[in-house]
Chain A
Amino acid sequence: MKTDLALTSRLDEVGHLASTVRSILAENNVAFDMIDALELALVEAVNNVIEHAYRMETGRRIDVSVQIEAREIAIRIADTGLSFDPHAFEDQIAVPQRIDDLPEGNMGLAVMKQLASELRYTAGPPHNVMTLIWRLT
């Protein structure tokens, strides 16, 4: 089962997208804790597109597809903005010791990597495509 969705590049649209995707996953009997993980990873991916690929420019298109199969769930996020190298970022966030040492940003990709079974990224042009995959065992 595949559902195609689209939104424009505004941070206040991301919550609506997340709500729609939660409904789709729930209707397909996806486990509640997995829905939570998928929602968080999706939101991080779309935030990254708006903030980094489109540099907060509003009105740009983001395509999202949700594919639910017997053995895996895949969410694809496509944009036509600036691409990036996902391997250039750490997979894990450093262990902090004090409040003053805590990071205030740049955690999104590490969060996605920790939540999903696999993260694939192909750079454009024309489209940059991030695919988040959860294997169902």
Chain B
Amino acid sequence: VKLEEATLDGILLVKVKAARIDASVSGAFKDSLSKIAARSERVVLDLSAVDFVDSSGLGALVAGVKAAKVKKLAIAGARSQIVTLFRIARMDKVFGMYGSAAEAAAGMTS
């Protein structure tokens, strides 16, 4: 799973460049995310290029940010199916959910 990184006001922006984060790639996704996310305690994960996430992908996301010791995570650009999964898993209560990476970064600094 390819991840692209940038920084904005000290916040690490990580864009997932894959159509699906599912059980077939969850281990690789967790490893890649934990390495990149370890560079900052505040991370925005941009899912605007992702079509589908299953609970294995969501579990890998959680495992990755836990391993990286991320203190604050926001999700940007998730399509409705992915937002539904986050809501069912109650993870929208812990992660901020935003329309875009810029909105997520602004929400994290306000």
Contact = CB atoms under 8 A, between A and B. Distances in A.
Interface string B56-67: 101110110110
B31 interface: no
B84 A102 contact: no
B71 to A, nearest CB: 8
Interface in A14-52: 14-15, 18, 33, 36-37, 39-40, 43-44, 47, 50-51
Interface string A44-70: 100100110000000000000000000
Interface stretch (A78-86, A103-111, A129-137): A103-111
Interface of B: 20, 22-24, 52, 54-56, 58-60, 62-63, 65-66, 70-71, 73, 80-81, 84-85, 88-91, 93-94
A80 B90 CA distance: 33
A122 interface: no
Main DSSP-derived SS at the B contact region: helix
A63 B81 CA distance: 25
Contact of B55 (A94, A100, A111): A111
B81 A99 contact: no
Nearest to A32: B80
Given A33-B80, A102-B91, A11 B22 contact: yes
B94 A107 contact: no
A93 B23 contact: no
B42 to A, nearest CB: 12
A36 B89 CA distance: 16
Interface of A: 11-12, 14-15, 18, 33, 36-37, 39-40, 43-44, 47, 50-51, 92-100, 102-105, 107-108, 110-111, 114-115
A102 B58 CA distance: 10
Contact of A107 (B59, B70, B71, B81): B59
Contact of A96 (B59, B85, B88, B90): B90
B88 A95 contact: no
Contact of B63 (A93, A97, A104): A104
Nearest to B95: A99
B22 A111 contact: no
B65 to A, nearest CB: 6
Given A15-B24, A103-B89, A96 B94 contact: yes
